[in-house]
Amino acid sequence: MAFGQTLATIDLSALSHNFTQVEKRVGGRKIIAVIKANAYGHGAIAIAKHLIKSSPPAMLAVASLDEAIILREAKIAAPILLLTGCPADRMGEVVSYRLTPTLFDTKSLAGDGRLIALSRSLKLASRKVTVHLKVDTGMGRLGIAPSQVVGFLKKAEDFGIVVEGILSHFAEADLSDLSFAKEQTATIKNVITTLTKKKGCDPCEGYDPCEMTLPFFHLANSAAILHFPEAYLDAVRPGLMLYGYSPLEGKKSFTLRPVMTIRSRVIAIKTVPANTSISYGRTYVTKQTTKVATIGIGYADGYPRALSNCGEMIAKGRRVPVIGRVCMDMTMLDVTKVPKLLVGDFVTVIGQEGKEAVWADDLAKKAGTIPYEILCGIKGNMPREYVGA
Ligand SMILES: *Cc1c(COP(=O)(O)O)cnc(C)c1O
């Protein structure tokens, strides 16, 4: 593909490979493919369409209603889970777009209108809507207390709402010390035990769980999928690993393949003498005669400003340092050792050239962040080409 300044190449065969790695680990369990944040910067519509075509996940998951609507408008019919729920006044859209919201507070039952609004629009649409219920087992963010689950299910039943799934989320499943993840898993397993009580038990709070179809349970994110099989339950929710990265620090042994490569053009080259300052704030001053290449990518594209004076790119197969501050649309490199580099050539910003590689996790380390933030930061308007379908 011809391209202007910058191009992201998304390798769909790597995506399929990574999905297969999830399948291999979790056996026949359902897979909920997490494609929030524009599929971690990879382009949600294309990622969803490829997954559905090659190895359909049980569900797709996005954060918000608006992300889900973009997928529906692109004719994606698969079940979509809304991980951050939905505002009460937009529940009608949940129904009309056939989405599955996550409910996560008791207020939605006590009359703030969320469930009521939902059940009203249900009647309007005369269509049953399913929801997932989030339980807080230690994240301290969304979710009702484990002790509230039975009561919640009863009320949901009264409203005619089908609770199809119950989920929780790990706070630190990426650590090698899994003790807190084990506590969280034990908590959700207790909920499962409560709900699977056989018929004949005393109905709790007037509600007999034996009479309903048991919801399916899901807890595991990429970290847990990679090293904590105890948490697989009925379904898993991989995000990061689908895109080829492991959230586990210092462990590169997993056979994941990064899906996104970013290349950007050299828009100017000049040779400057020693003692020349480069970029805003003059944080870099050349020590000798230096060949400086200006690259057409900057923080407006999602190349973090935190990589000023510490990032690296690959030019003609050679690793070269970012010098001076990263600008909004440009970044400067010291290419003194790359005599053949010309204006119009491209350099690799994220990816591999020969033996050299700079991946999102390498950049994350240098920028003091996580690969998630590097990937999600890649702007939606960056031109993307999809290969390997
Ligand atoms: C983002 C997210 C995931 C995916 O997490 P990864 O670490 O990217 O695998 C799973 N579940 C929930 C609730 C999430 O918000």
CA atoms of 104 and 122, how far apart (whole Å): 19
In this predicted model, what pLDDT tens digit does every residue of 32-91 receive, in sequence order?
Answer: 999 999 999 999 999 999 999 999 999 999 999 999 999 999 999 999 999 998 887 888
Q: From ligand 1's centre to the CA of 283, what distance in Å?
A: 38
In this predicted structure, which of 6-15, 114-123, 253-262 has the lowest mean pLDDT?
114-123
Determine the pLDDT at residue 145: 95
Determine the pLDDT at residue 202: 55
**Beta carbons of 257 and 247 less than 8 angstroms apart:** no
- Nearest 10 degrees: Cα torsion 374, 376, 380, 386: 80
What's the mean pLDDT in 322-348?
A: 97
Asked whether 85 lines ligand 1 (CB < 6 A), one says: no
Residue 253 in this model has a pLDDT that exceeds 80: no
Asked whether 237 lines ligand 1 (CB < 6 A), one says: yes
What's the mean pLDDT in 226-250?
A: 95
Mean pLDDT estimate for the chain: 92
**Which tokens go with 326?**
């990263």
Q: From ligand 1's centre to the CA of 213, what distance in Å?
A: 26
Instruction: Please state, as a whole number, how many other Cβ atoms lie within 10 Å of the Cβ of residue 139.
Output: 15
Strand partners, 162: 130
Which of 221, 225, 246, 373 for mutating ligand 1's site (highest number of atoms within 8 Å of CB)? Answer: 221
Residue 260 in this model has a pLDDT that exceeds 80: yes
Asked whether 117 lines ligand 1 (CB < 6 A), one says: no
Which atom of ligand 1 is nearest to 63's Cα?
A: 15
318-321 vs 312-315, strand pairing mode: antiparallel
pTM above 0.85, yes or no: yes
Residue 204 in this model has a pLDDT that exceeds 60: no
Handedness of CA 350, 352, 357, 360 (dihedral sign): positive
Determine the pLDDT at residue 332: 98
Which atom of ligand 1 is nearest to 225's Cα?
A: 9
Which atom of ligand 1 is nearest to 238's Cα?
A: 9
**Beta carbons of 193 and 214 less than 8 angstroms apart:** no
Determine the pLDDT at residue 207: 59
**Which tokens go with 263?**
């290349």
Three-state SS letters, 169-215? CCCCCCCCCCHHHHHHHHHHHHHHHHHCCCCCCCCECCECHHHCCCC
Q: Is 355 a catalytic residue?
A: no
Q: From ligand 1's centre to the CA of 183, what distance in Å?
A: 19
Asked whether 34 lines ligand 1 (CB < 6 A), one says: yes
Q: Is 243 a catalytic residue?
A: no
Which of 83, 133, 137, 254 for mutating ligand 1's site (highest number of atoms within 8 Å of CB)? Answer: 83
Residue 91 falls in which region: left (phi positive, over 0), alpha (psi -120 to 50) or beta: alpha
CA atoms of 212 and 294, how far apart (whole Å): 63
What's the mean pLDDT in 328-337?
A: 98
Secondary structure element (H or E) that encloses residue 370, with its range: none
What's the mean pLDDT in 288-298?
A: 98
What's the mean pLDDT in 333-346?
A: 97
Determine the pLDDT at residue 346: 95
Residue 148 in this model has a pLDDT that exceeds 90: yes
The pLDDT confidence band at residue 223, using thresholds 50, 70 and 90, is very high
Which atom of ligand 1 is nearest to 40's Cα?
A: 8
Which one is catalytic: 128, 252, 280, 337?
280
In this predicted model, what pLDDT tens digit does every residue of 108-131 receive, in sequence order?
Answer: 766 556 677 777 777 777 777 789
